[in-house]
Amino acid sequence: MVLNRRVVVTGMGMVTPIGLTVRENWDSILACRSGIGPLTKFDIPALPVQIAGEIKNFNPENYIDKKEVRRMDPFIQYAMAATAEAMADAGLTVDDENSERIGVILGSGQGGITTVEQNTLRAYNGGINRISPFFIPSAIINLASGQVAIKYQLRGPSYGIVSACSTGVHAIADGYHTIQRGDAEAMVVGGSEATIVPTGIAGFAAAKALSRRNDEPEKASRPFDLNRDGFVSSEGAGVLILEELEFARHRNATIYAEVTGVGMSTDAFHITAPDPEGRGPRVCMQNALKNADIAAEEVDYINAHGTSTQLNDVTETRAVREVFGQHADKLAISSTKSMTGHLLGAAGAIEAIYCAKAIEHQILPPTINYDTPDPECDLDYVPNKPRRAKLDVCLSNSFGFGGTNATIVLRRT
């Protein structure tokens, strides 16, 4: 068994409400452009929430054979699109010699909820004979990984991750560990989500988790701001190509950043609410620093979980102060969810990409809609515009329902 091999990011792809490529996303981040708008996928006036972060101008046939499109739930389609960009970006060629050493781990919080909803309605309204034979393979979460493996002939480890909003980072962590221990040379990792359907929006609204700022959708996601009132549900995918360092160097791959550590923990407190003392996030970040073998003072930037909910933002702030002490006042922290909304199981993956881009360009992503400071959120949230800064080490936090927590550490190479 080979241990502690170095793991780097060599390719990235994404589909989000602010862009269909990494470049479009990064341009939107620097322009402080919100991707939140009125719901257009369906019209149910009785819903108290009428806003979301929808994907615009997405044509799955640009990435998938037309015949195959109808066999894939949108969450799989988004994963396929993001993977296509990431594989092209990495320039990773799969052949008979390396296919068994390349795997894929893609996760989702809710998987094929669109397909489940459609086929449930068919079952009740038209009888069981109207159920699609592709219902199950279109809906189950591991089929995002399965479809990617089939398309690119990846014969290494392949499975799905399900851990609510921590899913994307957990997928990266598993890919990192797989390469580190010698079970693969490269891994396709990330998350995908497509929950903008009536039951998805209604369910989160019933839990009182969503913003109801229907008259100002572009201002609805406002992490750490005093007047925040909930997160905005969004859709999309983020995919990264991870490689063992020497494997990447041997083929002269572009290296965006090194994954130097991951941390995990569980609140063990409540099914949806965070522990108000922030114990879980604190332990998670401490574990990540220990795993990366770095001191708290070495961290330059944190891409916060920062959902724009009252409890989460205060809890995360409290945890950061406990972990970083006096250095917390020197840290830059921002929530890109202020622009993208919350992509749930895809959030951790797209936010890891934003960290890699921040390192590449030495620019801090902003937190937009930060208008009124909250006395309980008293850190530097890079308000309302990007900022140039020296960035060597970034953390990205993802915390999910059920108290699941994950943190990734990226370092400039």
> What are the catalytic residues?
165, 305, 342
Q: At what angle do helices 22-30 and 347-361 cross, to 10 degrees?
A: 70
Q: How many CB atoms lie within 10 A of CB 131?
A: 15
* Best CA proximity match to 144, nearest among 212, 75, 96: 75
Beta bridge partners of 12: 240
The sign of the torsion formed by the CA atoms of 293, 299, 304, 310 equals positive
Q: Contact, 94 vs 241, CB < 8 A?
A: no
N- to C-terminal Cα distance for the chain? Answer: 26
Phi-psi category of residue 117: left, alpha or beta, with phi > 0 → left and psi -120 to 50 → alpha: alpha
Q: At what angle do helices 198-206 and 113-126 cross, to 10 degrees?
A: 110
Looking only at Cα atoms, what is the longest distance across the chain? 64
The strands making up 186-193's β-sheet, listed across from edge to edge, are 158-159, 102-107, 186-193, 236-244, 7-15, 257-266, 404-411, 393-400, 301-303, 332-334
Q: Contact, 210 vs 308, CB < 8 A?
A: no
